[in-house]
Amino acid sequence: MRHTVSEIKLKNGAAGLLIHIPNASVMTFDVNFRAGEYLVEADKWEVPHLMEHVLLGANELIPRARDFQAELEKNGAYSNATTGVYDISYEAECADFEWDRVLGLLLVAITKPLFLDEEFQAEFGNVQEEMAARSNNHFRRLSLEMREALGLIAKTDAERLELMGNVKVDDVRAHYARTHYAPNMRFVLAGNLTAARRNAITTVLEAVELPTKGKRYALPHEKPHRLKQPVYVPNDTVENLYFYIDTFMNRRLGDPETDALNLVNTMLTETLYSKILGTARERGLVYGMNSGVSQTRDASNWWFGAQVSEKNAPALLDIIVQELSKVLAGDIQDDELEATKQYALGRFQRSAQTVGGTASGYAGRYFFDGIIDDYYRVPERIKAITKDQIIEVARGMFAEDVWGFGVLGNCGQEFAVELQNKLAPLWQAPKQV
């Protein structure tokens, strides 16, 4: 969607983006605090999650959670909140005609929560149910087990369930007081932000009733290390095995490097005709496959994962090794590079067809490190990616020999080791072109 974006820094220390989308019929609000699990003691891990559940409930304006939700949503508005290792985010979306009412209610919830004991007890049970449901997600379970083993900040859902009993409502209140202050707040608001609305929003956010002392919490330092043995999670209830491959570079990638790595990732796995997934499907080895690029404060990660039968797993890993080895050796054809760029350009154009999609395109990076991506330069950035850039960054992701392999299923540790051994040559010094 056509839009303009600007950053405002408020006198109270908060900062955020205002995204003007002319004639938009909805508005979205994302309010973020650096308040995730890394800021609490390990035995109190679930404090941020429980706080997030209770916060969008009873408050000084409407002292009952159900009544507050009914009031906020009465004209079809939507609200939610999410907790992660780093952040808590509160979001709402509403029709354009009631933007000021919904924004006001969201801010009241954030600034005037009551944290009633009875609502805490109810949400305690709801979070237990949520964690139990999440534990049935085998990819999630394996991913969390691997993050822990690699030295990243994480706990499995089973561990979190065991630790929940350590959390009391006073812990929630204390974490709120420690994290919910204006300089720790970031926001992204998107919609038809006329000059009058921008002024009104700025006035409202300047007056938000949060403490003005302090600064935004820094991201934690996380340094992944090499796993000598695969992470094996036995589960005899699943027929197929689930696996993840993670490789790391112990520094953050620059934007051109990230663009190049994302493009080769697309080339390898993201379409039914891609180099790895397309070849594997052509041979009837696997239904689907995922991969991606992520970053922490100190490191960059390239990962691959799939669900595959035990009998097909060796052949699938052979394809992964073969195709990655080609990239590391510089074997990338000009026509496949250009075709991948065209696909990436088309996908980008489809990615922001809604107000919410446009806002989320900015929010992730802005909340993470304060960078405002230039949406209109993305096509230019994609077109500028070269084969040499791809080869260099791909080699860099394997050069430091920091990697791990994990399997969930009933194949046994010995078979998991056999699969890991198939992958090991990727971290040997690649051949030069």
Give the model confidence (pLDDT) of 405-414 as tens digits.
Answer: 999 999 999 9
Q: What is the percent of the chain with per-residue pLDDT over 90, rounded to a whole number? A: 93
**CA 92/CA 94 separation, integer angstroms:** 7
- Taking CB atoms within 8 Å and a gap of at least 24, the contacts of 317-321 are 317/419, 317/422, 317/423, 318/422, 319/276, 319/279, 319/280, 319/283, 319/285, 320/245, 320/276, 320/423, 321/422, 321/423, 321/425, 321/426
Same domain, 261 and 189: no
Indicate whether 221 belongs to any domain.
no
By C-alpha distance, which of 256, 189, 185 is closest to 4? 189
Confidence of residue 429 (pLDDT cuts 50, 70, 90): low
Q: Give the SS3 label for residue 45.
A: coil
Secondary structure string (H, E, C) spanning 321-380: HHHHHHHHCCCCCHHHHHHHHHHHHHHHHHCCCCHHHHHHHHHHHHHHHCCCCCHHHHHH
Indicate whether 320 belongs to any domain.
yes
Condensed to tens digits (0 to 9), the pLDDT of residues 217-259 reads 999 999 999 999 999 999 999 999 999 999 999 999 999 999 9
Indicate whether 213 belongs to any domain.
no
pLDDT above 50 (res 417): yes
By C-alpha distance, which of 16, 34, 31 is closest to 87? 34
Same domain, 110 and 199: yes
Question: Average pLDDT of 168-173?
Answer: 97
Indicate whether 352 belongs to any domain.
yes
Indicate whether 55 belongs to any domain.
yes
pLDDT above 60 (res 430): no
Same domain, 108 and 248: no
Same domain, 63 and 131: yes
Same domain, 239 and 194: no
Q: Mark which of 206, 241, 264 sits at the end of a domain.
A: 206
pLDDT for 348 equals 87
Same domain, 299 and 158: no
Total structural domains within the chain: 2
pTM for the model: 0.93
Same domain, 136 and 250: no
By C-alpha distance, which of 314, 321, 340 is closest to 407? 314
Same domain, 258 and 364: yes
Place of tokens 């390239």: 302
Q: Mark which of 166, 190, 206 sits at the end of a domain.
A: 206
Same domain, 176 and 288: no
- The runs of H, that is alpha helices, within 135-234 are 138-150, 157-163, 169-179, 195-206
Phi, psi of 59 (to 5 degrees): -145, 180
What letter does residue 411 receive in the DSSP assignment? S
Q: Give the SS3 label for residue 170.
A: helix
pLDDT above 70 (res 44): yes
What letter does residue 50 receive in the DSSP assignment? H
Nearby residues of 139 by Cβ (< 8 Å), 6 or more positions away = 242, 244, 305, 307
Indicate whether 225 belongs to any domain.
no
Same domain, 235 and 200: no
Report CA-CA distances (Å) from 197 to 27, 76, 204, 244: 11, 21, 10, 47
Domain of residue 280 covers 231-427
Q: Mark which of 166, 189, 206 sits at the end of a domain.
A: 206
Condensed to tens digits (0 to 9), the pLDDT of residues 61-97 reads 999 999 999 999 999 999 999 999 999 999 999 999 9
pLDDT for 431 equals 46
- 117 conformational bin, left if phi > 0, alpha if psi -120 to 50, beta if neither: alpha
Condensed to tens digits (0 to 9), the pLDDT of residues 133-166 reads 988 899 999 999 999 999 999 999 999 999 999 9
CATH label of the domain that carries residue 421? 3.30.830.10
Indicate whether 236 belongs to any domain.
yes
What crossing angle do the helices spanning 47-55 and 117-134 adopt, rounded to 10°?
A: 120
- Residues present in the chain in total: 433
Report CA-CA distances (Å) from 346 to 8, 95, 109, 183: 31, 29, 39, 38
pLDDT for 428 equals 84
Confidence of residue 353 (pLDDT cuts 50, 70, 90): confident
Name residue 242's beta-bridge partners: 307, 408
Same domain, 280 and 414: yes
Condensed to tens digits (0 to 9), the pLDDT of residues 306-337 reads 999 999 999 999 999 999 999 999 999 999 99
pLDDT above 60 (res 433): no
The per-residue pLDDT of the chain, averaged, comes to: 95
Q: Between the CA atoms of 156, 161, 163 and 168, what dihedral angle is there, to the nearest 10 degrees?
A: 140
Same domain, 174 and 283: no
Residue 348, token pair as written in the block? 């980008």
Phi, psi of 400 (to 5 degrees): -90, 0
Helix and strand counts by DSSP (H, E) for the chain? 16, 11
**CA 327/CA 274 separation, integer angstroms:** 13
